[in-house]
Amino acid sequence: MTVVTRFAPSPTGQLHVGNIRAALHNWLWARKSGGRFLLRLDDTDLERSRPEYEEGIRADLGWLGLNWDGEARQSERFALYEERFEALRASGHVYPAYETQQELELRRKVLLGRGLPPVYDRAALSLTAEQIAACEAEGRRPHWRFRLDHDSPIAWTDLIRGDQRFDPKLLSDPVIRRADGTWLYMLPSVIDDIDMGVTHILRGEDHVSNTAVQIQMFAALGAPLPAFAHEALLTGSEGKLSKRLGSLGVAHFRELGLEPMAVLSLLARLGSSLPVEPFADPQPLVESFDFAHFGRAPARFDEGELAGLNQKIVHLLPYAAVADRLPEGMDAVAWDVIRPNLETVAQAADWWRIVTGPVDASGPEAEDQDFLAAARERLAALPFDEGVWRSLTEALKAQTGRKGKALFLPLRRALTGLDHGPDMGQLLPLIGREEALRRLAAD
């Protein structure tokens, strides 16, 4: 069996971190299994779906490196839905209902007031021909419900949650089609999963009850059941579901200068028993991905943890991986010198300005003026090689008796304008003799 997974976002907005995690896990399972990862745009909501959101979804997946093996749009598959719907109608698996939204809401409130579950009572099935004609005469058009089989208990073994059981009598027959003929999520999704040969459906635990209903739809359409995995939802760093998670997406991560692999490294293992580690390549994440590693406890997303991962990944990146993002003139040697001080690759430009100048250095302290003049004199006479910093500081230590902070800090401030930064033994050769002499002479 060829494993086929799918990511099926609705193009009615931007992807957020929860969507990205679902896409990633589907991609990882397909890649580990040597299977196919499909992108399906669930755009049956024609009023809210937008081409710019479609392009945004593709661009976000592309930035993350989650390449897909096939693509479909639900709005191009209406003929197939109509065909399957008519088959279900002929077999008695769907039926028309004429209640208005207000009537349904009133019944729901009554049931809740009696302490009963708000399950649809199937009143539409008992309508007489005369009552249906009266509804039609009033101008009512029916919406359509899928008729659940109350005699067939719903059960499956979830790849994350284990054995699941639902009593169909405690579920409402779901509305699958509105009165205006437009489709809701449930049935088209099942039809597409069958038609596309999807073997594994991985999504959030908020879809568990949907899965219970859709299992009977697969059966009604005579299709084999795919494997299901429902993972715990993400929570915010404060420990509860956070609205902020819905606003965090690729645009936010890119604005912060984060690496795609930082996002993937965190989201791949968040909620699993495996440690979150910095990876510069996705292959280890592919190889280690396993549903058995995931539990039912909520997975906590922390932006601070993401930033820390990003810093570690930047420190792993070779020059070839970042060369096209570095400032002009910055070569592999300079990258190796500056890289340990970076939190993001974009910060390399700030450090490169320290090398190329000019630096914003305030005048030296009065007690350091003679010391820096001596440093300039010594530097002018020394061979300007890889060991020049060590030679300079050793000579100054012997000449002035300074050591530690009193020796090194005035030199660093004069040469870089900062109190901290890359190792001066590596940085000074990048600055160059003439520029270093000029900076030491500044007052």
Binding residues for ATP: 243
Cβ-Cβ contacts under 8 Å for 48 (sequence gap 6 or more): 10, 12
Per the rule left: phi > 0, alpha: psi between -120 and 50, beta: everything else, 424 is alpha
Return the amino acid letter for 58. Answer: R
- Tell me whether strands 200-204 and 154-158 are parallel, antiparallel or unpaired: unpaired
CB atoms within 10 A of CB 50: 13
Determine the distance from the C-alpha atom of residue 238 to the mean position of all C-alpha atoms in its chain, rounded to a whole number.
19
Beta partners for residue 299, in sequence order: 234
Token pair listed for 305: 């943890």
CA 40 to CA 45: how far, in whole Å? 14
Torsion on CA atoms 85, 175, 298, 308, rounded to nearest 10 = 70
Annotated binding residues: 243
Give the H/E segment covering residue 71.
strand 70-73
Token pair listed for 423: 């190792």
Q: Which residue has the tokens 């809210």?
A: 48
Angle between the 369-381 and 433-441 helix axes, to the nearest 10 degrees? 160
Contact yes or no for 74/44 (Cβ under 8 A): yes
